[in-house]
Chains A and B, each alone.
Chain A
Amino acid sequence: MKSFRSMAYPYIAWSMVLIVLPMLLIVIYAFTNEGNSVLNIRFTLENFARFFSDRVFFDVLKRSFFIAVMTTLICIILGYPLAYIIARMKPKSQIIMVLTVTIPTWINMLVRTYAWRGLLEKTGLINSILSLAGIGPIQFLETSFAVILGMVYNFLPFMVLQIYNSLSKMDRSYIEAASDLGADKVQAFLRVTLPLSLPGVISGITLVFLPAVSSFFIPKLLGGGKYVLIGNVIENQFLTSGDWGFGSAISLIMAIVIIISMQITKRLDRDTSSEGGKL
């Protein structure tokens, strides 16, 4: 059996170089500032101090967080009913609807996001339809609305599919049992269906919040050059100003924000599901 085990060794070596080492580099650079060379390592917290002493960066972090939270909330509000409706359809319609939701995600995000520019432009399709009704033209592009719309558009399928998965796995007899025990439809939903589907919502939140908080091409394409999120700052540090130390520090801060948010969501899940257990 040893010969088969060794089949995994090359990948272990490969993952050390291409997965672990880059992560270590980010941490090392975040705490150094001796130009872009690994050889002169000098420990410093300057990069972090710079981030937190400058209001501009802090505002960018706040804005990114706000946009990501809004996107996630809207995805839950739109995605939950959609997933719920799909899960209650006939099996054949379920397959078709799941495909309908999945297909757009296979198509390049950049292509789909760019299309929204044509739709939202002042001379674009939506404004010309609105002008028939005597409204507009409305400035959609370069607003938070456009950025959130672009994110909801790109990430909503992930939320729908996750919630659908947990709803469709659910045993329908639980609901029947609840109504036999005297629960009305609303009670049965709130106390049985909702708590049982929460794991799906939580993994949906992960799949939406994570790319939303770090996205940099959606704000750039739909928010214009002035609309800066944390991802754009990181991009600039690496590709324009070449300050790897500062860029790495910002990435670390972003990672910490993500980890903390995920922990909070998981805790909320644990609290509510323990409550939901008592019928």
Chain B
Amino acid sequence: MRYLPLGDGERAEMLEVIGAGTVDELFVDVPAEARLAGPIAGLPMHASEMAVERHMAALAGCNLSAGSVPFFLGAGAYRHHVPASVDHLIQRGEFLTSYTPYQPEIAQGTLQVLFEFQTQVARLFGVDVANASMYDGSTACWEAIAMAGRVTRRAKAVLSGGLHPHYVATAATMARFTGDMLDVGVPQLAAEPDDAALIAAIDGETSCVVVQYPDVLGRIPDLASIAEAAHAQGALLVAVVTEPVALGLIEAPGKLGADIVVGEGQSLGVGLQFGGPYLGLFGCRDKFVRQMPGRLCGETVDAEGRRGFVLTLSTREQHIRREKATSNICTNAGLCALAFSIHMTLLGGEGLARLARIGHDRARAAAARLTRIPGVTVLNSAFVNEFTVILPRDAREVVRELADRQVLGGVSLGRLYPQAGELANGLLVATSECTSAGDIEALATALEGVLA
């Protein structure tokens, strides 16, 4: 077996040192009736690298990859061009095969990256501090709700109807077991999000208002007015960003009054990967930092006065405070955070603005072309790089028929909201710098064919 260095001679020498006759003697504490006599029946035996690669390639070949066809899917996962240097750098063994930086003297590479990452995220979001990342956007969103509960000592969160339904479902699962209450709005097919209804739902019991920005339909809520209304009731504003590239164009949520900003960081540096691993972004105001979940990296000095970095404020975390910890999270999304940070470093703030601008450019072109199709309208009055179109019939079927024509045309609202019949004709269309004029024309042509 190519990954196992010990040979039989060495095993025998080691057993002699141990004072055991056979390896099986080392398993003496396992009750005999539970010990397996040999390899589990019915499972394949070991295989060569070539054989495994062939098997996996066959499975990979059964999937329609985004890069191989005109592609317009978004809804919380976005296809961007990841520079080749990003993937090269994250495969350096010193990053790929290192562990959580518990011994900071020999983990300054990871730690400095985390410090840089935290600074990038905080600046992108317009908040004071950000942590070293969470599992993904949806779990970061629940953590923000839980944190707002700790800060305000209230247990009722108001969730905007524009919040991604998977994020709502994740929060609902947790709230059901923790006893928190969620006031969940229903998405309305309107050109603009109903900020007034959201504001009306805030009262003196509200811990936080959770608003996606841009929302799941690609519309842009007025965060400043929601923040003002929340703060007037002693509630926090939690802003959720599923497409961080959009923040190259629209104002940072923290600048508009958001107290906690969370998001999905996959857009930068991390491929689609069928949904994971992604990385949760989590930032907030300084004064809440001791209520934050997750790892934090901080600057300090070593015994010789040289700058260095360590994991800090660890007493918030499970390995120290156990059942009183701010969260049970243990890992972060280290390697994905590295990829995000490298991509962000290559872009810089102005590069990010240009990236957002080009995605918007393609979205405008796509919206203009699609509305020329009879029976197809664009819902949004404003959007960045994702918008909702209303089709003349159920978008779920249309999406499948488009796929039959080798076009991945978008995400149907019926897939996201199977119970909401009034949304069934909605289709989310996302673009990016990867979207070409030819892709837009191919989508429009295929859609014309499907709807004809």
The answer to whether A and B assemble together is no
B interface residue numbers (CB < 8 A to A): none
A interface residue numbers (CB < 8 A to B): none
